[in-house]
Amino acid sequence: MQKKRVVVTGIGPVTPLGIGKEPYWRSLMERKTGIDLVEFPNFDMEQFKTRIGAQIKDFSLDDYLPFHKGDRHMGRASQFALVGAKIALEDAKLELLPRKGVEGRYELNNLDSCKIGAILGVAVENMEIMEGSYDSLLKYGSPRRLSPFALPNVYTSSVATNATERFGIHGTTFVVSSACASASHAIATSYNKIQDGPEEMMLTGGSDACITPLTFGGFIALRAMSTRNDEPLKACRPFDMHRDGFVMGEGAGIILLEEMNHALKREAPIYAELVGCGMTADAFHIAEPDPTAISLSKAISQALAMGGVEPKDIDYINPHGTSTPLNDSTETKAIKRVFGDYAYQIPISATKSMVGHLLGAAGGVEAIVITLTMKHGMIHPTINYEFPDPECDLDYVPDGPREKTVRTALSISAGFGGVNCVLLFKAFEP
């Protein structure tokens, strides 16, 4: 039996560069960066070896959604996911109606709510709630001062369930957590769900808000983050010789996947078709990628094979491109393994150079980039690429936006623990 075809009909980026597709895309084209110095109240930032990140400043859920009493207890990652979901649903031309008798909640008009689900990626739970609750426990020496709403909103699953509750979604709902590949794994899982299951639509992608003292400090202890505190705008420099670590970001990248015939029947906008995915594990180290790049290259090959696409047909790659010494060289090696000499002809641009590393949301905001690249026929640059590295010698689009028709593109994600996920998109043809 022929598999169902799956298309992207709505996108909802919530990023340090902008919220919504127009501000996000415009900032990428203008080579802007969302990276700057961060501050934690009640902490001496001089004690933090890294003091830079990509924050979404002046964010308020009230600016995007009507108030609901549960909002005050919700974690930041859940809030980002809600906003991204609303933007994606509306972008897909779905009508959100106020739910009768329930303040601040919606239902989707003219849809079977059991045939739309939500599978989202989250790398780290709502840590600001966890950290605040633990501080309260230590301060008062008793659990009596803990909020009864804290634990339900700390669960990673709350990022998805808050969205389904808000928009009246009754289909398959859960969270995928696979470190920096979480959003891509969520998209791949949603893709398979539409192909094989009863759902016709899946809200997917990822959300994370990890710029908190404990999470930030933990990554500093790992020596994984850039310490270029004197030049925050130049700190994230994927594939550059002088890269010294990733820059943590926050936000959400939410997309709506839809079965093709369902989308065509309701005359939905179609950005691209998702045609394949590849998933492997390095089985090498809890934090470092396998330097042979064998497993990552196999994930790329799996995605190509599933989509029936030859390596020479790839027009663009959006890489993981974290700006860490090991990841960038390993990823370059994986691309060369699969594409051979043709690797030097493929434009490769790293979104993280401008938005930072959104951890569990990274694959979502990068998949959105591919849909917009196909729509506009433009490739955004990799900024801060100034000093070529002999181990990273491909075309990273360093000089500025590049005009190019992109019909087939890959999004590569590679998370801590060696979890790899590659997504293959094609320009849609009915």
In a domain? residue 241:
yes
Name residues whose C-beta falls within 8 Å of residue 208's C-beta, 6 or more positions apart in sequence: 77, 80, 122, 123, 124, 182, 250, 251, 252, 358, 359, 360, 361
User: Helices in 266-341 by DSSP H: which ranges?
Assistant: 294-307, 325-339
Tokens of 97: 């109606």
Mean pLDDT of 297-319: 98
Name residue 148's amino acid: P
d(CA 376, CA 374): 6
Query: What tens digit of pLDDT does each residue of 353-373 get?
Result: 999 999 999 999 999 999 999
What is the model's pLDDT at position 103? 83
Catalytic residue among 185, 357, 380, 421: 357
In a domain? residue 394:
yes
Same domain, yes or no, for 326 and 227? no
Place of tokens 């396998």: 290
Name residues whose C-beta falls within 8 Å of residue 94's C-beta, 6 or more positions apart in sequence: 10, 108, 109, 111, 256
What is the model's pLDDT at position 197? 82
Q: Is the pLDDT of residue 1 over 80?
A: no
Contact between 303 and 276 (Cβ < 8 Å): yes
The residue out of 246, 272, 298 marking a domain boundary is 272
In a domain? residue 117:
yes
Range of weakest confidence among 150-159, 212-221, 306-315, 328-337: 150-159
In a domain? residue 383:
yes
Q: Residue 18, SS3?
A: strand
d(CA 227, CA 46): 12
Q: Which domain holds residue 92?
A: 7-272
Same domain, yes or no, for 147 and 176? yes
d(CA 364, CA 11): 9
| Annotation says 180 is catalytic | yes
Same domain, yes or no, for 31 and 99? yes
d(CA 383, CA 351): 9
Q: Is the pLDDT of residue 152 over 90?
A: no
Query: What tens digit of pLDDT does each residue of 83-102 get?
Result: 999 999 999 999 999 998 88
In a domain? residue 142:
yes
Task: Find the helix or strand (DSSP H, E) in which 206 lies.
Answer: strand 201-209
Same domain, yes or no, for 189 and 283? no
Same domain, yes or no, for 322 and 248? no
Of the candidates 325, 305, 322, the one whose C-alpha atom is nearest the C-alpha of residue 314 is 305
Residue 424's pLDDT band (boundaries 50, 70, 90)? very high
Q: How many C-beta atoms lie closer than 10 Å to residue 387's C-beta?
A: 11
Tokens of 121: 């990626």
Q: Is the pLDDT of residue 2 over 80?
A: no
Mean pLDDT of 305-322: 98
Mean pLDDT of 112-138: 90
In a domain? residue 76:
yes
Domain count, the chain: 2
- β-strands 106-108, 96-98 pairing: antiparallel
CA-based diameter of the chain, in Å?
Answer: 64
Tokens of 339: 């594409």
Q: Is the pLDDT of residue 169 over 80?
A: yes
d(CA 262, CA 225): 44
d(CA 109, CA 99): 10
| Annotation says 170 is catalytic | no
Query: What tens digit of pLDDT does each residue of 198-237 get?
Result: 999 999 999 999 999 999 999 999 999 999 999 999 999 9
What is the model's pLDDT at position 230? 96
Using alpha carbons only, give the angle 143, 144, 146 rounded to the nearest 5 degrees.
Answer: 65
The end-to-end CA distance of the chain, in Å, is 19
| Annotation says 285 is catalytic | no
The whole-model pTM stands at 0.97
Query: What tens digit of pLDDT does each residue of 12-64 get?
Result: 999 999 999 999 999 999 999 999 999 898 889 999 999 999 999 999 999 99
Decide which of 248 and 132 is more confident.
Answer: 248
Same domain, yes or no, for 256 and 369? no
Catalytic residue among 185, 262, 320, 380: 320
Q: What's the CATH code of the domain at 369?
A: 3.40.47.10
Mean pLDDT of 304-314: 98
Backbone angles phi, psi at 133, to 5 degrees: -65, -40
What is the model's pLDDT at position 137? 83
Place of tokens 């959104």: 358
Contact between 255 and 190 (Cβ < 8 Å): no
Same domain, yes or no, for 56 and 165? yes
Q: How many C-beta atoms lie closer than 10 Å to residue 286's C-beta?
A: 9
Residue 136's pLDDT band (boundaries 50, 70, 90)? confident
What is the model's pLDDT at position 147? 83
Name residues whose C-beta falls within 8 Å of residue 75's C-beta, 6 or more positions apart in sequence: 125, 126, 127, 128, 129, 153, 154, 158, 159, 209
d(CA 206, CA 341): 34
d(CA 185, CA 164): 19
The CA distances from residue 364 to 42, 336, 352, 393, in Å, are: 33, 25, 12, 26
Provide the 8-state DSSP code for 190: H
In a domain? residue 416:
yes
Contact between 83 and 93 (Cβ < 8 Å): no
The residue out of 224, 243, 272 marking a domain boundary is 272
Q: What would the 3-class secondary structure string for 48-101 be? A: CCCCEEECCCCCCHHHCCCCCHHHHHCCHHHHHHHHHHHHHHHHCCCCEEECCC
Of the candidates 379, 294, 374, 283, the one whose C-alpha atom is nearest the C-alpha of residue 331 is 294
In a domain? residue 380:
yes
Give the percent of the chain with pLDDT over 70: 100
Q: Residue 105, SS3?
A: coil
pLDDT averaged over the chain? 95
What is the model's pLDDT at position 43? 87
Same domain, yes or no, for 76 and 92? yes
Contact between 164 and 118 (Cβ < 8 Å): yes
